[in-house]
Structure 1
């Protein structure tokens, strides 16, 4: 074949509307017919590249693939026709009617030989008769082709290959017949274009196909092997990647814990979000511990308010924003502002309701124990029933003052309201009967020289007493006797408090905290307001200036120092004196501008309102105030969700706690550990130690270190506990350990290895019913295990020199106890504590060498399984197993609490919580595995929440302004922005 400067081997002319699919297929198949598969994607620069020893694909022009954008379409078509060596006409009635096909055919007939036209009959009819087409039948080619050919042109019938034809529809696309028919048709076009014999080209095509099959088979074999290798390598890579992700997440989560600690004082909301972010990235033992102690970080709400108050039941938090009218001044116009009251759920800090107040200034507000809200609104006290905070109902107002009201208050029983207004020439106190808020009654008015020209902004009824105190920015408070609300009378102000700047009643009404001349004192106060027996509250710096003082339940007191600290005091156990237990840091600016400081009714939280602090970047989107709420259930250990005074034991069901303080045993309802409720009290042994409950929780035992007595207390009715019996020690040494063997038998061990068994149901029998000589040294701990249903065994550890076994005793016959001979080897060092699950199947032993040994019992007579031991950093002083045996907690010499998940094959460390020197040697579970009780060195028992999800949800309450993308990029640079404490942040997964 002669070589000419053509760009294309062929030009395809077709109807776009009808024949495009067939044209696309024909272009593809003809171009690569007879071409090796590995050259299919080769694009030659010109026609020369298509020939040679190895065939290359033909270049066939089709307008949709080869036509570039141009201002005029036809010139580009002509250019392509001029560059093509052959013309392929896709013949069909649609093509014959197409003006573009007609133009392309006409150009070719005028400029090229008709011998270079190849026809593919796609649709319609094509018939030849004599020297021309039979135009009575032919409808597939344009009439312009009449008389063109001297003899019948080359054409191929490809109608059976159209998808919509019945023949094609009945023939599966992948059959061999279809494949051969398609190849034969394409050869009719490719052979003349390439200038080779059709048979030779077809044979070459078949050889290429066979060669391809062999290559594919070999490739499949190779690819299978490579795939297996790649899968193995991918698995290893995934493992390495997962390891890298885990290591990165662990490091990042622990880093966020450290970052939260650095900003917790100045940006508590951000600190809370950083801890929540750490929880979302990786729950490491360090993160879990930080979540437990996260309650030390105050809650934070940004709001537009000037004051706040709490309902007497502690359920509702209310904030007040005073309204103001439009004011014209020389410097400009101050726009009007509407005031309002916002009601929050004090537990979740979610808004429960709003009350619009308009533009009239509001000076003070209060909530009664009956659910009545009073707002000093101008010269009127407006009342709302907020029993349903979402739908406040306004009641009749209290009208009687002739000037703006400065302060309002309710009596503890909610029956009496008091309001004070300072007029232009006198001050007036009015008492109201609001027993029926729909018909309030004015009871009495008090006018006295002591009230004139004085600004009192705080009214306080003495809880349980008959005194109303008025305090404010004055030299001394005023006491009013309101024992008879219809006949109130100003009483002489005690000389001791005439120069006081601040005064606050305890919720019990028997104490009052005062501040004067840098001296904060706590007094006893009687029902008539007489103060006595003052005790100074210690100050770290006697020269510091105090701004606000408040008193709370449980002997708590708080004061704001104007150097940027909030002091917190609590009563010492068994004493009327108080200790400074915490100094809560706040921005110094806030300490000068405090607009409210209040304890919750139960004293578990302390809230402070200050203006516009911690506004964040740019100082925008923050209201005019910041409310901080500290958790102070235990001021020394503010991570506790609740606390009770005394050293404690937990009833097996986790709902009742017994605590002893000197010779008094107090019972508490701890169904809600965050709000313990006092039950009954009973006298116990002097210097009581080691409280233990019987398995059914109906009997409580204690022993005395002073005289060796053992006491049993009937606690079947916790509100009315009673002493059940007292047994004297047969030994002259002190008791070291006690455990109930069942609901009746109590075992008590002493310093010289004796164990005495007492029948607590027989208080008239003073002597023990059985004795066990267990060791030659002190009995350090005992526990009851139950390998089988009817075979309880007493496990005993002691200080016996040269022996570190845990002895097992059969005490089914108390008078003839016997050692089973199946002692448990416990290493070389002393066993300090034994603990067992409620079912008696999992036994744990805490060792002085830092090990915790574990055994799981499966049945009577069989040897227990020894689980892998836990290794701590030093002495393990305390170990406790949850009732279901699925969790274990230890308290070590380093005063660090660690919790572990217990599985059949071992344990996994879940939590590391550094308690510091406040932790003593007592730790126990509360009924389940979510909450623990920890004894402290200062005589309290604290409750700590272990569940990370609960702690994270608690963290997100009061977490302030949402983290900005800039803050996220600074603290979490490797992960996409996803602020914590949002629904989208829950359960997220991060990747490298």
Structure 2
């Protein structure tokens, strides 16, 4: 009677279910599914077709006629009996229709609630006790009808279709519908169920096998795809990194953006090293700023805090001298040809190629136009009193009183003139573009001296005059010549501050800039060279600082403009639409100064010992420049960003320093003892002294390293290779690793883990012995193949040892696996420092090169050069031998150089990217640059966002 034999069925529906919607909707649907699936062959869609109005009846405006049609086309009537159905008009109507039709034949009852009681004597239901049937069914049955009890079911949760109780009830109802005995039907259902399960398991096994094969193939395909993409990204990253390094000397802006994109493509050691190289090259470059049109004019304010950039489109932008902020914008109709700030920096005068003049009030942000010049403005300058002198290309010089009204004008005849006030504005110096000049009184412009003897050489000499007008000269064939200054009869000559400059390499000079303080900048086809000369009249070697220091400023192309600030400490250059801002007092773009200048106080090689503590504290042993003449001298210092500097100490020199765990205690080691100091405000108070046991004289007694163990206990190493322990209240240490018996004239190296639980000590065979503390027991020996260990450092957790060889190797020794994890065969010759978390490892060469290493792979990630200090180093050795260095908990590198200063360094990729984006002006690659160098569709995000 199932769907498989539909053609043999006399009725379309095998059964019709009548029920009370409010009481038995879920039970009716559950029973319908049970009848459809009971004893169903796997080839059948359903075993029985059962009508249920909620699921089978389509929307129909004539509801009862449709119900009648379904009743007439049903072979059996199943009533879900409950008190609700007994009172239901629809159930009564459907039961009455069935009674008048087929009668009680093929009417099956399933009791879901209430009571059903048969009265055998009367041959009818006991209507006094029966509560689940409609009264209209009275007298319908002469014999007790077949019925099943479903009162155990819940309307909210009817249960499982395979529940044995439910299966028995379904079998009772399905047997007359199928026309088969209940036992046979149950057996057929079990057999069909087993067969279906076997088929399902078989199908599932086949599907699973196919899925596994397809999944494996998919995984392989995905892995191959991902690997291909990774290799493509890596190749593109390496190409961009190589291109960036090729471009860095001439176009650091583009190189920086390419380097950042190389890193984003693949965070490889090569990309990281490229970022570091870009971040540390050209240390004097502060920022690049751009303009909409090619730049035509540059001017600094008198206090060096602002720079004006004018372009050929008539726009003028005033930037802060670090390029981080725009302070003002204004414009004139023509190409900007001259600009200058007032003495107080509150006004900016600008002139253009059409003779227009304007004075911009930076506070009020308003431009006031002045009476124009006859021809294009060639030069202008404010006097100290606020007057303005302007010269045009025909040699007309005009004075504007208080930069407002024109009150004097004179045609000087000096073509392309440059004007400079002299002697606090009592004179006006006018220089000719081809040589010579004149000196005029102010304000009447009377000629005091007109000298045409200072002719410039022919054929491309680079000419310049300083901002104060005290240095005028030219550069040709690498030789600078001062033309002198006009001297009036009976008057003292103006001071010539050009000084002495060395001969430069014979490279064609395209541009020249001079200062009043004996400094020169030369623009060539390959970049910019800055030369610090000797002040005129002083002998070589007798000047302050470095005489004749020559610095190459890289990262920009051929300059079209060069302009010094009034003090000579800053320089601006222009190339096309980009202006580069330089700070010649900046030693590095990745270093931060903290105003901590150290004296050169020794006549031997000394690296100031350093230690870092909580809250950004840094401690060192070396006198500050400001304390050079202090009495008594104090050589211990603790500095913090918020608390300033605390000072103390009573020894001539300390070999090592270390913070206690609380950050308020400082331990300092010197020959034969350890001192404990407490940080109290701006001073250090000495608490106790711990003598070193068995100490000898000289380097043997020197304290090399201190590791606080907590509660005042210490681990200490000394120059003879011994390891000491000191209890919290001890006045003397005890030796747990005895001193080396090797060459008594040579110090031995040793290193402690930050927690003081392990010690590494150099042995006589060139290896390193590892000892556990506090027992001092030797547990293993680390070695470098084919060479001796020159320096080393233990990681904080005592699980890694970083070894630097005496020849070329730098390696990581794994103390757990007792083997080398990696070895880098690159010339190094360095000392080693490790952060407490062991994730930052740095080396410092004698020449002052700092290098960060990848702790997992051993790749060299690069690093900066320690700046040469302004004060001459005493003794021998390179800058690195006079520098102490340490890595703090945050991975920040700190250095201290005697004669130099205490510096903190940006030593992370994020800080490098931030600095490079600052250099690039905060923008990204243009679409054209992206397509040219990357070769794909430009992304929507900028490189620097």
Q: Is TM more than 0.5 here? A: yes
Shift of residue 427 of structure 1? 0.8
Q: 1:821 to 1:481 in 2, by over 3 A?
A: farther
Q: For 1:352-363, what aligned pairs fall within 5 Å after superposition?
A: 352-355=327-330, 357=331, 359=333, 362-363=336-337
Q: Do the aligned partners of 2:241 and 2:274 also contact (CA within 8 Å) in 1?
A: yes
Q: Distance in 1 between matches of 2:430 and 2:750?
A: 57
Shift of residue 410 of structure 1? 3.4
Residue by residue over 1:28-73, the C-alpha shift from the partner in whole angstroms, topping out at 9 and shown as x without a partner, is 66554435xxxxxxxxxxxxxxxxxx6334269xxxxxxxxxxxxx
Alignment partner, residue 184 of structure 2: 200
Q: Distance in 1 between matches of 2:438 and 2:77?
A: 117
Corresponding position: 1:341 with 2:290: no
Pick aligned residue for 2:392 from 421, 425, 428: 421
Shift of residue 953 of structure 1? 1.0
Alignment partner, residue 476 of structure 1: 435
Q: Distance in 1 between matches of 2:569 and 2:202?
A: 78
Q: 1:935 to 1:954 in 2, by over 3 A?
A: same
Shift of residue 475 of structure 1? 0.8
Pick aligned residue for 2:39 from 12, 34, 41: 34
Q: For 1:255-654, what aligned pairs fall within 5 Å after superposition?
A: 257-265=241-249, 268-280=252-264, 288-295=272-279, 296=281, 300-305=288-293, 306-307=295-296, 308-321=298-311, 339-347=314-322, 349-355=324-330, 357=331, 359=333, 362-368=336-342, 369-376=344-351, 379=355, 381-387=357-363, 392-394=364-366, 398-399=370-371, 401=373, 404-411=376-383, 415-422=386-393, 427-430=396-399, 432-433=401-402, 445=408, 447=410, 449-451=412-414, 454-456=415-417, 459=419, 470=430, 474-476=433-435, 478=437, 480=439, 491-493=449-451, 495=453, 498-499=456-457, 502-504=462-464, 514-516=474-476, 519-521=479-481, 528-529=493-494, 531=496, 535=500, 537-542=502-507, 544=508, 546-551=509-514, 556-561=519-524, 563-571=525-533, 574=541, 578=548, 580-582=550-552, 584=554, 594=560, 596-599=561-564, 606-611=571-576, 625-629=577-581, 640-641=589-590
Residue by residue over 1:504-532, the C-alpha shift from the partner in whole angstroms, topping out at 9 and shown as x without a partner, is 45679875663357744579989954548
Shift of residue 173 of structure 1? 1.6
Pick aligned residue for 2:924 from 941, 962, 969: 962
Q: 1:528 to 1:487 in 2, by over 3 A?
A: farther
Q: Distance in 2 between matches of 1:829 and 1:469?
A: 73
Alignment partner, residue 656 of structure 1: 596
Pick aligned residue for 1:91 from 44, 49, 53: 53
Q: Distance in 2 between matches of 1:450 and 1:580?
A: 38
Q: 1:560 to 1:353 in 2, by over 3 A?
A: same
Residue by residue over 1:369-392, the C-alpha shift from the partner in whole angstroms, topping out at 9 and shown as x without a partner, is 4232222266554323325xxxx5
Q: Distance in 2 between matches of 1:891 and 1:394?
A: 54
Q: Distance in 2 between matches of 1:780 and 1:241?
A: 63
Shift of residue 304 of structure 1? 0.9
Alignment partner, residue 806 of structure 1: 721
Q: 1:485 to 1:965 in 2, by over 3 A?
A: closer
Q: Do the aligned partners of 1:836 and 1:844 also contact (CA within 8 Å) in 2?
A: yes
Q: Distance in 2 between matches of 1:278 and 1:347?
A: 27
Q: Do the aligned partners of 1:156 and 1:185 also contact (CA within 8 Å) in 2?
A: no
Q: 1:806 to 1:837 in 2, by over 3 A?
A: closer
Residue by residue over 1:50-101, the C-alpha shift from the partner in whole angstroms, topping out at 9 and shown as x without a partner, is xxxx6334269xxxxxxxxxxxxxxxxxxxxxxxxx8654337994971598
Q: Distance in 1 between matches of 2:751 and 2:550?
A: 39
Q: Distance in 2 between matches of 1:171 and 1:480?
A: 112
Shift of residue 897 of structure 1? 2.6
Pick aligned residue for 1:898 from 848, 851, 870: 851
Q: 1:286 to 1:640 in 2, by over 3 A?
A: farther
Instruction: Report SS of the residue matched to 1:274.
Output: helix
Q: 1:601 to 1:827 in 2, by over 3 A?
A: farther
Shift of residue 421 of structure 1? 2.9
Q: Do the aligned partners of 2:672 and 2:695 also contact (CA within 8 Å) in 1?
A: yes
Shift of residue 966 of structure 1? 8.8
Instruction: Report SS of the residue matched to 1:743.
Output: coil
Alignment partner, residue 803 of structure 2: 870
Q: Distance in 1 between matches of 2:182 and 2:428?
A: 118
Residue by residue over 1:636-689, the C-alpha shift from the partner in whole angstroms, topping out at 9 and shown as x without a partner, is xx865569xxxxxx9xxx6422355xxxxxxxxxxxxxxxxxxxxxxx89x886
Pick aligned residue for 1:795 from 693, 712, 718: 718
Alignment partner, residue 652 of structure 2: 745
Q: Distance in 2 between matches of 1:869 and 1:845?
A: 10
Q: Do the aligned partners of 1:253 and 1:282 also contact (CA within 8 Å) in 2?
A: yes
Corresponding position: 1:951 with 2:915: no
Q: 1:568 to 1:255 in 2, by over 3 A?
A: same
TM-score (norm 1): 0.56
Residue by residue over 1:810-854, the C-alpha shift from the partner in whole angstroms, topping out at 9 and shown as x without a partner, is 99xxxxx99979555599999789799999979999999999979
Q: Distance in 2 between matches of 1:322 and 1:207?
A: 95
Q: 1:824 to 1:10 in 2, by over 3 A?
A: farther
Shift of residue 420 of structure 1? 2.0
Q: Do the aligned partners of 1:90 and 1:122 also contact (CA within 8 Å) in 2?
A: no
Corresponding position: 1:912 with 2:862: yes
Instruction: Report SS of the residue matched to 2:93.
Output: coil
Q: 1:318 to 1:202 in 2, by over 3 A?
A: farther
Shift of residue 549 of structure 1? 1.1
Instruction: Report SS of the residue matched to 1:921.
Output: helix
Q: Distance in 2 between matches of 1:191 and 1:601?
A: 111
Q: Distance in 2 between matches of 1:511 and 1:857?
A: 69
Instruction: Report SS of the residue matched to 2:256.
Output: helix
Residue by residue over 1:525-548, the C-alpha shift from the partner in whole angstroms, topping out at 9 and shown as x without a partner, is 899545488645544335x3x332
Q: Do the aligned partners of 1:851 and 1:869 also contact (CA within 8 Å) in 2?
A: no
Pick aligned residue for 1:879 from 831, 838, 841: 831
Q: Distance in 1 between matches of 2:153 and 2:319?
A: 73
Unaligned 5+ residue runs, structure 1?
36-53, 61-85, 221-234, 324-338, 435-439, 612-624, 644-649, 661-683, 702-713, 726-739, 749-753, 758-770, 797-804, 812-816, 984-992
Corresponding position: 1:924 with 2:884: yes
Instruction: Report SS of the residue matched to 2:510.
Output: strand
Residue by residue over 1:326-367, the C-alpha shift from the partner in whole angstroms, topping out at 9 and shown as x without a partner, is xxxxxxxxxxxxx43334344354545433x36466442223
TM-score (norm 2): 0.58
Pick aligned residue for 1:56 from 28, 39, 43: 43
Q: Distance in 2 between matches of 1:320 and 1:850?
A: 68
Q: Distance in 1 between matches of 2:725 and 2:83?
A: 108
Q: Do the aligned partners of 2:387 and 2:399 also contact (CA within 8 Å) in 1?
A: no
Shift of residue 954 of structure 1? 1.0
Q: For 1:767-806, what aligned pairs fall within 5 Å after superposition?
A: 774=697, 783=704, 785=706, 795-796=718-719, 805-806=720-721
Q: Provide the aligned C-alpha RMSD in A.
A: 7.2
Q: Distance in 1 between matches of 2:707 and 2:4?
A: 102
